[in-house]
Amino acid sequence: MSDASLHGKRAIITAGASGIGRVVASRLIADGARVAICDIDAKALDRVSAELPGSLAVRCDVSDPAAVAAVAAKMMDHLGGIDILVNNAGSAGPTAAVQDIEPADWDACIGVNMTSQFLFTRAVVPAMIAQRSGCIVNMSSSAGRFPMALRLPYVAAKWAVIGMTQSLAMELGPHNIRVNAILPGSVRGDRINRVMAARAASTGKTIAEIEREEVASMSMGRLIEPEEIATMIAFVASDAGRSISGQSLGVDGNTEVLR
């Protein structure tokens, strides 16, 4: 068995019913892991339950502390423990000038993109410490390295995820628990389509113009495929990545600047 195998590993993936999370779940299962996913979208959970037999799919508001504690316990009970946590849940948040952002929209964006990662990490770390092993993968973004106008809550959260990742790697390393952040660029799918539509509406540009700007910001000149994110996560979570911790790993086609 190669070091890249995830055979027998137990993984929890937040927001795993669609988009990048759905692709990550499928990849980890293909590599031998047993998977439990949560999502806020009940219909998407029904679909993924049918598509990924044997996996546990549970509805959860990832920014609700009580809900996260209950769901994480249910998932670990189903899996018989936890080896891998993929904190994938994310929200684009508002596209607006700072003076037009409602505090409730700020809180919601921070809650999904950052607080959820703290809550799930807090819930699973005792089990990882007890077994002296574990891998936590936090989803950040290229927006965690570059400023962006009109996207303040999202950028603030993604920068914070990197700081949280590095602090956790330092804190948990002595327990043989690795913590890394993945920084995707513009990934093909529904989320980037919604973001581009919002930017077009707020700037008066066409969606085609916004898409050209997205691609122009990357040296490789193309959108990232969800499967490329899943490949990086699978590698980092495997024994092949056993010495990788505290890192911010870009999968972004060399994003040079965000607009």
Residues serving a catalytic function are 154
Supply the DSSP string of 49-72, one letter for each residue: HHHSTT-EEEE--TT-HHHHHHHH
Are 177 and 214 contacting, i.e. CB atoms less than 8 angstroms apart? no
Task: Supply 146's token pair.
Answer: 């570059």
* Number of Cβ atoms within 10 Å of the Cβ of 240: 14
Identity of the amino acid at 142:
S
Task: Supply 143's token pair.
Answer: 């927006």
For 111, phi and psi rounded to 5 degrees? -60, -45
Burial class (CB in 10 A: 0-12, 13-18, 19+), 54: exposed
